[in-house]
Amino acid sequence: MTDIVFRTARELRAALGARELSVREVVQAHLDQIERVNPRVNAVVTVVAERALAEAAAADERAARGEDLPPLYGIPVAHKDTHETAGIRTTFGSPLHAEYVPERDELVIERMRAAGVISLGKTNVPEFAAGSHTFNPVFGATRNPYDPSRSAGGSSGGAAAALATGMHPLADGSDLGGSLRNPASFCNVVGFRPSIGRVPSWPAPLGWSGLATAGPMARTVADAALLLSVLAGPDPRSPIALDEPGEGFAHSLDRDVRGLRIAWSPDLGGSVPVEPEVAHVVEASAKVFADLGCVVERDCPDFAGADEAFRILRAWQFAVKFGPLLESARDRLKDTIVWNTEEGLRLSATDVGRAEVLRTELFHRFREFFTRYDFLLLPVSQVPPFDGELEYPTRVAGQDMETYLDWMRSAYFVTVSGSPALSVPAGFTPGGLPVGVQIVGPHRADFAVLQLGHAFEQATRVGRQRPAVA
């Protein structure tokens, strides 16, 4: 079983296509792994075993008939509990939706199922995906596989912990302020925030908004790229969807990286506090790229205005989404959601307009920066995995964090820039906690970012260190 559940998705797909494994064997192995390991980490919160095994049997029958097999044929996945899945309970981590069962799949699930994925169930999230620590009143907290007393990150924390422990080889996630990248860093897996529009969203009440995006998670960069090949591509239901099809992301990521120009900063040019053990991993990662033949310099674009722009636009979105709930269900929302929503309700049109101007200015500073460099190397999170009993870190590198957002700046400043960003395993603290590094590239240079991450991953092999609970 261990051999099956820790194979890469690409290896599993090849074995399934060659009929070396049946889909039933693969699905059962992952269901057994969930039963064995999940009680220790609380990553998978809804399991649909009978449905998964029935789908597996049908998939095996299609293969036996000699039918063409789709790109993710037979790959088992538990989906993020904020992504609506037809016939499977989707709670958003909220008691308001504790028994909600959607009648249709949202776009990313629709695409994964069309590509042959077998749905195992749902992975845990913070309440309404708010915050980068996965806990909620419906299912409780997800624990870090490398130290169950620590946070698994969020909001795709259940997905990351399940990946790290072999409960599934691929995972869908989403990222507004770091929700793909932060849990990947905390759990020693890969999370990729693609360029806005690369993975279209539907249904989406704010269809023109370009701040949040869905994206892939996996244990390897190549597997994340494979999932992106299915998730990416145009869709007429999304007004900001990019026209480029996704199939190209399934191609080999091998690339000669010698001569590439890489800037790096342990603290985003001094704009955020970062714990020393995290900064050390970023510096060590820069040396890895130098050893690979890259031209590496310590430099960083100016992030002026990123904090204000993100907080305004996030609060505005919270006001749109949760404003009506303040009157009808205020006492059933966690305090940070209420606070962030009230911040949004206080905004003026001028405030939102200023945020868009600041965001545009940052985009152009990044555009100019990437005429001098090919990539930017940064910390994913300003802290290593923190005490799981805390709602969020209240101090970072000796500085007080006033709100639940402050400690996530190293991720959400990059969100505002519009650049694609990859979290890839990079090292461990002296206490054995995972730390990822963030590789940022020019706008829409998604494939190039994945290529560089793949080269780094092959050189370091940090992601191969499994947690003891697995």
Q: Count the domains in the chain.
A: 1
Give me the active site residues, please.
80, 155, 179
In DSSP terms, which residues pair with 439 in a beta bridge?
377, 422
Q: What percent of the chain has pLDDT over 70?
A: 100
| The two structure tokens encoding residue 195 | 């360029």
Res 448: pLDDT: 98
Structural domain contains residue 217: yes
Structural domain contains residue 220: yes
DSSP-derived secondary structure for 170-219: EEEEEESSSTTHHHHHHHT-EEEEPPTTTS--SS-TTTT--S-EEEEEES
Q: What percent of the chain has pLDDT over 90?
A: 99
Structural domain contains residue 98: yes
The string of pLDDT tens digits covering residues 12-54 is 999 999 999 999 999 999 999 999 999 999 999 999 999 999 9
Can you give the pTM of this predicted structure? 0.98
Q: Where are the alpha helices (DSSP H) in 292-397?
A: 306-329, 335-345, 349-369
Q: Residue 53 maps to which CATH number?
A: 3.90.1300.10
Structural domain contains residue 336: yes
| The two structure tokens encoding residue 95 | 């008691």
Structural domain contains residue 470: no
Structural domain contains residue 215: yes
Alpha carbons 311 and 320: distance in angstroms, whole number: 14
Res 422: pLDDT: 99
Instruction: Please report which confidence band the pLDDT of residue 228 belongs to, taking 50, 70 and 90 as the band edges.
Output: very high
| The two structure tokens encoding residue 249 | 């992301």
CA distances in angstroms from 151 to 5, 161, 334, listed in the order given:
23, 10, 18
Structural domain contains residue 39: yes
Alpha carbons 159 and 154: distance in angstroms, whole number: 9
For the segment 183-192, the average pLDDT, to the nearest whole number, is 98
Structural domain that includes position 306:
2-464
The string of pLDDT tens digits covering residues 270-322 is 999 999 999 999 999 999 999 999 999 999 999 999 999 999 999 999 999 99
For the segment 417-446, the average pLDDT, to the nearest whole number, is 98
DSSP-derived secondary structure for 369-428: HTTT-SEEEEES-SSSS-BTTSSS-SEETTEE--STTGGGHHHHHHHHHT--EEEEEEEE
In the predicted model, what is the mean pLDDT of the chain? Answer: 98
Asked whether residue 2 carries a pLDDT value surpassing 90, the answer given is no
In DSSP terms, which residues pair with 215 in a beta bridge?
173
Structural domain contains residue 469: no
Res 293: pLDDT: 98
For the segment 427-456, the average pLDDT, to the nearest whole number, is 98
